[in-house]
Amino acid sequence: MARPHIAVIVGSNRRASINRKLAQALVKLGADKFDATFLRIDDLPMFNQDLEANLPAEVVRFKTELTNADGILIVTPEHDRSIPAVLKNAIDWGARPYGKNCWAGKPAFITGTSGGAIGTALAQQHLRSIMLSLGTILQGGDVYVTFKPNLVDDDGNISDDSTRKFLQGFMNQFATLVTRLAPQPARTA
Ligand SMILES: Cc1cc2nc3c(=O)[nH]c(=O)nc-3n(C[C@H](O)[C@H](O)[C@H](O)COP(=O)(O)O)c2cc1C
């Protein structure tokens, strides 16, 4: 089959986001197994059901990108022990209007980083609950990454050997999951 295509969503709109740095390093770990596109979520309007009848262009773009993806990688900060508002807003747009839920049936891998030892654990727990309710197929396992200034080196690689191997294992599993679930070309015989 063709290489699977992963949509990457970073749950931060901060220019120097540490979660974006981690997401870029994770994509490098999977670069021999899948293609990846970072989806923009910071330009999506605040969700308003009144807009559903005539979806804004940014929302149409986002939903099309989700629909075309074979899998979704979400790398998110934790805000006040839950997920950031910018990410929840994107999730709500992806799920609506009723009957146009783009998340259902998509394999997804969730992780995130903060300076705390179990930073993002509660955000990830909330995110799992939300994504399961929307019908995504979540990869198992918990990946809480404590961010240190040298976690990602100047070349965008995970600098610590054991952390890199740990994350590589999850990226390999994710690639396998996405490949298994990706639509197969029709058989001719
Ligand atoms: C509004 C707000 C709430 C936060 N709440 C948490 C939290 O609950 N847990 C945590 O580990 N860090 C928390 N932080 C600190 C973030 O981990 C830190 O700002 C991190 O850099 C955010 O990720 P980003 O750089 O990818 O945006 C919070 C930061 C902000 C701005």
> How high is the pLDDT of residue 183?
78
Nearest CA to ligand 1 atom 4: 79
- pTM for this one? 0.96
Q: Which atom of ligand 1 is nearest to the CA of 120?
A: 11
Q: What is the pLDDT of residues 48-89, one digit of tens each?
A: 999 999 999 999 999 999 999 999 999 999 999 999 999 999
Q: Which residues line ligand 1 (CB under 6 A)?
A: 12, 14, 17-19, 77-81, 114-116, 119
Q: Which atom of ligand 1 is nearest to the CA of 19?
A: 26
The two structure tokens encoding residue 92 = 């709500």
Exposure of 20 in the CB half-sphere (CA atoms within 13 A): 12
Opening angle at CA 60, ends 178 and 30, nearest 5: 25
Q: Are strands 35-38 and 107-114 parallel, antiparallel or unpaired?
A: unpaired
Beta partners for 109? 73
> How high is the pLDDT of residue 189?
60
> How high is the pLDDT of residue 188?
66
Residue 159 has pLDDT above 80, yes or no: yes
Write phi, then psi, for 180 (nearest 5 degrees).
Answer: -65, -35
d(CA 135, CA 58) in angstroms, rounded, equals 23
Q: What is the pLDDT of residues 123-145, one digit of tens each?
A: 999 999 999 999 999 999 999 99
The two structure tokens encoding residue 167 = 């994350």
> How high is the pLDDT of residue 95?
98
